[in-house]
Structure 1
Amino acid sequence: MKKQLLFLLLAVVLLSSCATATLSEFPGVGRVKRYDFYSYDLPPAFDGFRIGFASDFHYESRLKKNDLNSVVRALKSVHADALLLGGDYRSKKGGNLDTLFAALSRVYTPYGTFAVMGNHDYDYCYSEVVEAMRKNHVRLMEHNSYKLMKDGQHIIVSGVRNPFDLKKNGDSPSQHFPADDFVILLTHTPDYAEDTNVSNANLVLAGHTHGGQVSLFKKYSPVKHSIYGNRFLTGWKENSQGTPVIITNGLGTSRIDVRLFTPSEVVLVVLHRVEK
């Protein structure tokens, strides 16, 4: 019986390595995944605007110090105009946050880097994350927003403070703008887009689920990181009001350092204006 269990465990580990292997040119980063987002509301000046998105580093879990150069290269490769970070920066095992954010600061974008916190950050290392962000010029969004200007036109980037504490947060920061503004809402968990009115947001970006870490057909996962089961597991989804939500698999791991059919990823979102 012990031999059978050992064989099964070995098979899972080997299968995990094979199943997450990709043709990525960035060792330690499974893939760079691109989404093209089309909208009537996007100002003409922002047609073709590129947003880099990375989340759930859990440094150092599966994501080690030796992988940081690959993460930086992957993020640089998307030629983003702005970089958004979705939270959960350090793992329970530890990981030097100054090292992580110093590496991320090497990813230059014309409009800068914007970030929200994840549940691990609130629980274990909030002050350390804040200080590391400050040192490395990352703009932390705790229920506030930034207006990105280009050729006299603008879009809004809004960030959610602790999306697991809805009572304290009140309404979504995306709701504080005129309906004709183009608003991107950054939140750690996709559940927030279902739990709260985000109808004024054109697009929501989220992480937290890790794609399940172990998943079949991008739909089924034994570990649920959402109260909605696998509904918001990974990829392009919509909430009940039809608002698009893009959920990344993230870069690190939590609980166990295994990925099966859920490659770690850096995300690129390219905005496109559609003429009415």
Structure 2
Amino acid sequence: MSRWVIRLIILSVIILIAEIYAFQALKTVTKSRVIRWVWLGVSALVYINLIYVIFSTPRSMGQTLQFQYAVGFMLTILIPKAVLILMMFGEDVVRIIQKLISFFMPGETMPLASRRTFVAKLALGLAAIPFAGFIYGIIQGRYNYKVLKYHLEFDDLPEAFDGFTITQITDIHSGSFTNKEKIQYGVDLINEQKSDLMLFTGDIVNNVASEMDDWIDVFKVLKAPYGKFSVLGNHDYGDYVDWEHRVDKIKNFEAVKGIHPKIGFDLLLNEHRYIEKDGQKLALIGVENWGKGFNQAGDLEVATQGVSQNDFKILMSHDPSHWEYKVKKDDFNYQLTLSGHTHGLQMGIEIPGFFKWSPSQYVYKQWAGLYKEFGRYINVNRGFGYHAFPGRVGIWPEITVIELKKATKNV
């Protein structure tokens, strides 16, 4: 029996136990057979659909829209139930403690009769919050584009670039798109920023180059007077498809690279370009994907051949783990790095300026937003598109606008 099958069996057992536990909570609240059968029926349909999609989809197709929605529906019913289970489990722990106290101290009793019903109702009410959030995330949240603006000061920024603006987008994942009107709205919003320079930091598709065919006309209208530049992300290499022939993977990779000039972007493959303004310049460096534990094709040494250590440098590198492990302490001094990749897991809680949380932070130290260490910055864009889960809950699609400023010296 393969490890994959064993893991699937273990996961199925865990989910079954969770479903039984959650159903017991429902029975505490209502005696309506209709509600109970609807609960069971919806859950069964979601799991049957997921199993069907998993076993009926050839691996050669990679991740399909059908798989995304099957996962989306599962998360929509499972995460609210997790909230329900946690509360009911806590109540069960209290009940056990109270029974032990009653056993050893017969004179001491605590009321139990109505509390479980109250806790079950409260738990169901709280579970409805993430359920509504996931429904919104699938219907509208994935198109809830946010423009985030940063003003970054640098001592060594060439004076000609004081006030220079950069729009960063990342993780288009065109294979997930279904609504051209909504995507067009996002593209128009990018153009409305009227930035000097536009940078795309990888993952233009999910699996194969053809996913972008219907979207080239939408994205080729993007404009920036000082140019549009891009790099590759992990999904652009075709590694998530079970290719029958290696030559097909190579052809697809070449086709993915060919998308970038079609939409007007200069793809940097471990290369650099100089952006010039009023006789001064800054170095724009683009590396191939480099991620911790996989696909480390990015090569800073190759990309910076001909670049001076004294040059002001902007690095495009898809995966923020590259910055954490290789870039931030590099003596060559990369003043600003732009990344994507994490999507902020497309779900979490953010109160701008006060609180930010997502399970993504347990995998990536820099997972969303702006970070600074050793006097150097990295911005991790939350992504324009979506992948795996066909929605966004609390972590919205992002368009980043960065204004470079020359630091003023205090006299």
Fold equivalence (TM over 0.5): yes
1:173–1:181 Cα change, 3 Å: same
| Equivalence map 1:12-27=2 (5 Å) | 12-16=130-134, 18=136
2:165: which partner in 1?
50
Match of 1:169 among 294, 299, 320: 299
Confirm or deny that 1:102 pairs with 2:217: yes
1:155–1:259 Cα change, 3 Å: same
2:372: which partner in 1?
238
Alignment deviations for residues 234-261 of structure 1 (CA, whole Å, 9 cap, x no partner)? 001135x442110111011121113111
1:176–1:261 Cα change, 3 Å: farther
1:51–1:62 Cα change, 3 Å: same
| Equivalence map 1:147-162=2 (5 Å) | 147-162=274-289
Unmatched 5+ residue regions in structure 1?
none
2:187: which partner in 1?
72
Unmatched 5+ residue regions in structure 2?
1-22, 24-35, 44-75, 81-127, 240-251
2:156: which partner in 1?
41
Confirm or deny that 1:146 pairs with 2:146: no
1:190: which partner in 2?
320
1:272: which partner in 2?
405
Question: What is the rounded CA distance, in whole Å, between the counterparts of 1:93 and 1:161 in structure 2?
Answer: 17
Question: What is the rounded CA distance, in whole Å, between the counterparts of 1:177 and 1:91 in structure 2?
Answer: 33
Alignment deviations for residues 212-231 of structure 1 (CA, whole Å, 9 cap, x no partner)? 2112346433357xxx7242
Question: What is the rounded CA distance, in whole Å, between the counterparts of 1:129 and 1:19 in structure 2?
Answer: 29
Deviation at 1:62, TM superposition (A): 5.3
Greater Cα radius of gyration, structure 1 or 2: 2
1:87–1:13 Cα change, 3 Å: farther
**2:359 partner letter:** P
Alignment deviations for residues 52-92 of structure 1 (CA, whole Å, 9 cap, x no partner)? 11111111325643323112211111111111001111134
Deviation at 1:13, TM superposition (A): 4.9
Secondary structure of 1:196's match? Answer: helix
Q: Is the 8 Å Cα contact of residues 111 and 148 (structure 1) preserved in structure 2?
A: yes
Alignment deviations for residues 119-165 of structure 1 (CA, whole Å, 9 cap, x no partner)? 11012542222222223331001111110011100011100112134
Q: Is the 8 Å Cα contact of residues 42 and 273 (structure 1) preserved in structure 2?
A: yes
1:63–1:43 Cα change, 3 Å: farther
1:63–1:56 Cα change, 3 Å: farther
**2:233 partner letter:** G
What's the RMSD between the two structures over aligned residues? 3.0
TM-score (norm 2): 0.59
**1:33 partner letter:** L
1:255: which partner in 2?
388
Question: What is the rounded CA distance, in whole Å, between the counterparts of 1:257 and 1:148 in structure 2?
Answer: 37
| Equivalence map 1:86-125=2 (5 Å) | 86-92=201-207, 96-123=211-238, 125=252
Confirm or deny that 1:181 pairs with 2:311: yes
**1:160 partner letter:** V
1:83: which partner in 2?
198
Structure with the higher fraction of residues in strand conformation: 1
1:188–1:167 Cα change, 3 Å: closer
Structure with the higher fraction of residues in helix conformation: 2
Question: What is the rounded CA distance, in whole Å, between the counterparts of 2:324 and 2:217 in structure 1?
Answer: 34
Percent identity of paired positions between Structure 1 and Structure 2: 27
> Greater RCO between the two (CA within 8 Å, min separation 6)?
1
2:146: which partner in 1?
31
